[in-house]
Structures are given as structure tokens and as C-alpha cells.
Structure 1
């Protein structure tokens, strides 16, 4: 097997360690590197959720697997790293996707007080949540995502890989849907 480090291939393959919606054996595996404070990341995240819903109705539950990996751009988004840690703390309690939805919906409000409010709204165990954040127990996981992204040529978020190939098309529903469907053939 050739280990391709070009910017067109995903170097770290999708695995059960990733946050995923759908099965890894799906016809199409879509990996997104995202930043919760980046407006474009939130827009693409929401777009993918719509596309996944439509494709699931058309082709079944096993058609598209959506994986989210962290790529906080801390130099331009000061709250992105903390938001990623919050998503990971929610993941421990089985609420990664609910928290991701919340963070994308409220990216203008990612200061600590709001983050605790979101955790409370999702009925997380707040003492556990706060303990994990204060001890920064999820930083290594986030850094692994960042490192994998960098190794795959990611320099900013959002970045998408469809069946391990970098998507370079437009961030529009029609173009992205066509690329996903084409990758399944």
C-alpha cells in the first residue's frame, strides 16, 4: 500500500474511534475536519446533515457515513479549542452530535458560561463535565485529529474527504450531493 501524503488523500482512515453517523461500511464515507467557531464550518456541517438525511431517505441508512474530526483554528478563533473540548466532554456522556449541533447553531456564543449552559440544556452530568474541562482530558484526542488533518494536507477548516479523496468542489448542496453520489459508483 502506498502511503500518500499529498493533499488529495486522507492519511488517517475512518475508524470506530471517530465520531460518526452511519456505518463505516457505508457506500460513501464523508470525513469533515471542522472548527466550531468557523462560520463556514458550521454552514458545511449543516449542509452535510441535510444531504445525509436526503440520501438516507433515497438510498437507505447504510449509504452515507458522516465523520466529524476537530480542526480548531485557534489563531483566528479563540474559542474553537474550548468548544472542541466541550464536544468531547459531551461525547463521553453520549451526546457528541447534540452538542455539535448546539455549538454550530450558537457559534457567536462560545464563552465558558454559554458552554456550561449548553451542557446543562443537554442534561449532562455537570460536575463530570467541568472536571474534564478543567483537567483538559480531551486535548490529546483533539490534537490527534489536528495532526491527522495536517498529515492529510488540511491547512484550514472546513475540509472534506469523500471516500478518502479531498473534496475541492463548491460548498453548495447540489455540487456536494453529486460528488457524494458519484463516489458511491
Structure 2
């Protein structure tokens, strides 16, 4: 295998340790490396939500598994890491996907005060939330996602892998849907 080919494969296989929507044993597994402050990450996530809904109706709930991994680009997004931490703290309290959606919806408002407000709106334990954020309890987990992305050749977010192979097509619903469906054959 060439060096380029190696860099287009997902280094760390999907597992139950990931943030998963669906089942890891699905026909197609879509892994996204994303940045909560990146508008392109938010756009791609919105596409994926639509695609997941459409495919679950037409091909069943177990057809597509979606996995999100953190890839905050801290060199250009000053709030990305803290937003990822907020998502991880919410995950520890059983509300990752709820916080994940809020962060992408409000990506222009990711300052500390907003993060606390989102946590409060979700009914999270605010004392625990603040303690975990201040002690950076979940930074290692975020760094593991970043490292797995780098080992897979990811240099910027968003980055997608469909059944372990890097998707380099256009970020349009038709092309992404076609790539997902094609991957099942």
C-alpha cells in the first residue's frame, strides 16, 4: 500500500467507546471528525442528520451508524476545545448528543457563559459541569480523538470516513448520500 492510501484509511476502528448514533455493526459506518466552532463542520453535520433520517426510513435503523470524534482546530477557533470539553462533560452525564446539537446550532456563542447556560438548559449538574471543565477532566479523551484523526491523515475538520475509507467528495447531500449507499455494496 502506498503512503497516500494509508493516510486515507481510518486508523482507529469504530467502537462503543465512540459517540455513536445507531449500531457499530451497521451496514455503513460514517465517522466524522468535527470542530464545534467550524461552520463547515456544522453544515456537514446538518447534512448527515438529514441523510440519517432518510436512510433510516428507507433502509432501516441499522443501515447507517454515525460516529462523531472531536477535532477542535484550536489554532483558528478559540472556543473549539472548550466546546468539545462541554460536550464530553455532558456525555459523562448522559447527554452528549443533546449538547452536541446545541453546540452546532449556537456555534457563534461558545463562550464559557453560554456553555454553562446550555448545560443548565439540559438539566446537567452545573456544579459537576463547572468542576469537570475547570479541571479539564475530559481533555485526554478529546486528545485521543485528535490523535486518531492525525493518524488517519486528518489535518482539518470536517473529515469523513465511510466504512473506514476517507470521503473526499463534495459536501452536498446528493454526493454524500451516493457515497454512503455505494459503500454498502
Structure 2, unpaired ranges of 5+: none
Structure 1, unpaired ranges of 5+: none
Corresponding position of 2:156: 156
User: Does the residue aligned with 1:171 lie in a helix, a strand or coil?
Assistant: coil
User: Does the residue aligned with 2:66 lie in a helix, a strand or coil?
Assistant: strand
Instruction: With the length of structure 2 as denominator, give the TM-score of the two structures.
Output: 0.97
CA shift for structure 1 position 25: 0.6
Matches within 5 A, 1:88-103: 88-103=88-103
Structure 1 stretches of 4+ with a deviation exceeding 4 A read none
Matches within 5 A, 1:136-151: 136-151=136-151
Matches within 5 A, 1:26-175: 26-175=26-175
CA shift for structure 1 position 39: 0.2
CA shift for structure 1 position 7: 2.0
Cα gap change, 1:79 to 1:128, in 2 (>3 Å): same
C-alpha separation in 2, matches of 1:110 and 1:61: 32
C-alpha separation in 1, matches of 2:7 and 2:58: 32
RMSD between aligned residues: 1.2
C-alpha separation in 1, matches of 2:170 and 2:5: 23
Residues matched between the structures, number: 183
Instruction: With the length of structure 1 as denominator, give the TM-score of the two structures.
Output: 0.97
CA offsets, 1:30-65, max 9 Å, x none?
Answer: 000000000000000111011001100001110000
